[in-house]
């Protein structure tokens, strides 16, 4: 019996959706295991048989991190670094993208090519020079080394350059004829147009800063200035003494702000990514 085109298409769609659901469940498994472990007693973490749902759920791990690990202060430090760093990055990278997209100046192509070339330099190569510079500035054990160096990163400038290049030159010329300054044109015309892209890239910057581990490990020495990644790592003990339940509880707490922010801006994030993919 030959299936009709509609039937074959329906079977193909069912197969694709089934595969996507299975892949999604597989990708969610580490998160579910982390959530489950955060409610387990120490003796149940590696118990056998393996149970995704704890046999004796406990909130002791969460009580421990809130009372003994100053998780609220750690979250405040992390949120400050991520938010300020994201705002700085969006401001300077969007300005840089606007400059490369709409202005002509000597050496523009060469400078832009050099900017793109810096994206292939491994971050490990820059660790020692960056630390020396930050120490000369007196910024070690402060939040500034986690904020300032990435404020004008090459990827952000390239992203906004592609975004701004689609804006009509006639629109900007009309604003100049009306007497608007170049920064006024950027702030009142360009910035609102590229807002979806700013939200999308802002979420990427925020998540990268929130999950940054190497930077805080190098520059933050005082425990009261630690971020969430350092707090999680501090629970990793030696000789098998790692507090797995508390470590997983801290990891769950660290994900909640990211999930809330993504749920709030998910529509703008998807719109920005989609629009950016169609801009040439």
Q: Using an 8 Å Cβ cutoff, are 199 and 254 in contact?
A: no
- Domain ranges (residues) in the chain: 58-278
CA distance 85 to 144: 9
Percent of the residues in the chain that have a pLDDT greater than 70, as a whole number: 92
CA distance 99 to 163: 12
User: How far is C-alpha 181 from the geometric centre of its chain's CA atoms?
Assistant: 33
The size of the chain, in residues, is 280
pLDDT band at 42 (very low <50, low <70, confident <90, very high): confident
Which among 228, 249, 235, 229 has a CA at the least distance from the CA of 36? Answer: 249
Which pLDDT tens digit goes with each residue over 95-123?
Answer: 999 999 999 999 999 999 999 998 888 88
Radius of gyration from C-alpha coordinates of the chain: 24
CATH topology of domain 58-278: MetI-like fold (1.10.3720)
CA distance 189 to 196: 14
Q: Enter the tokens of residue 18.
A: 């089934």
Cα–Cα–Cα angle for 272, 191, 212, rounded to 5 degrees: 60
Residue 201, CB-side half-sphere exposure with 13 Å CA sphere? 32
Q: Using an 8 Å Cβ cutoff, are 145 and 220 in contact?
A: no
Q: Is 138 exposed, middle or buried (0-12, 13-18, 19+ CB in 10 A)?
A: exposed
**Which residue matches tokens 């920064």?**
183
Which among 274, 257, 267, 265 has a CA at the least distance from the CA of 74? Answer: 257
pLDDT band at 3 (very low <50, low <70, confident <90, very high): low
Which among 93, 116, 74 has a CA at the least distance from the CA of 234? Answer: 74
Q: What are phi and psi of 279, to 5 degrees?
A: -90, 130
Which pLDDT tens digit goes with each residue over 155-208?
Answer: 999 999 988 998 989 999 999 998 889 999 999 999 999 988 898 899 999 999
């Amino acid at each position: 019996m030959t299936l009709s085109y509609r039937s074959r298409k329906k079977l193909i769609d069912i197969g694709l959706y089934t595969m996507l659901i299975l892949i999604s469940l597989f990708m969610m498994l580490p998160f579910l295991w982390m959530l489950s472990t955060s409610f387990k007693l120490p003796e149940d973490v590696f118990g056998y048989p393996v149970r995704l749902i704890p046999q004796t759920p406990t909130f002791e791990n969460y009580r421990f991190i809130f009372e003994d690990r100053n998780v609220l202060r750690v979250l405040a430090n992390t949120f400050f670094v991520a938010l300020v760093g994201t705002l700085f990055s969006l401001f300077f990278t969007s300005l840089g993208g606007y400059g490369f997209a709409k202005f002509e100046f000597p050496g523009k192509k060469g400078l832009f090519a050099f900017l793109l070339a810096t994206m292939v330099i491994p971050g490990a190569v820059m660790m020692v020079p960056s630390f020396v510079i930050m120490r000369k500035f007196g910024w070690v054990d402060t939040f500034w080394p986690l904020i300032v160096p990435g404020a004008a990163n090459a990827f952000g400038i390239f992203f906004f350059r592609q975004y701004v290049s689609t804006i009509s030159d006639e629109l900007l010329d009309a604003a100049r004829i009306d007497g608007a300054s170049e920064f006024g044109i950027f702030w009142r015309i360009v910035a609102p147009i590229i807002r979806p892209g700013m939200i999308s890239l802002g979420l990427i910057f925020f998540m990268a800063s929130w999950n940054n581990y190497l930077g805080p490990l190098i520059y933050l020495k005082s425990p009261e200035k630690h971020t969430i990644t350092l707090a999680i790592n501090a629970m990793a003990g030696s000789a098998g003494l790692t507090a797995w339940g508390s470590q997983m509880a801290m990891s769950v707490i660290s994900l909640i702000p990211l999930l809330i922010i993504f749920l709030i801006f998910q529509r703008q994030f998807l719109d920005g990514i989609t629009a950016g993919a169609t801009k040439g």
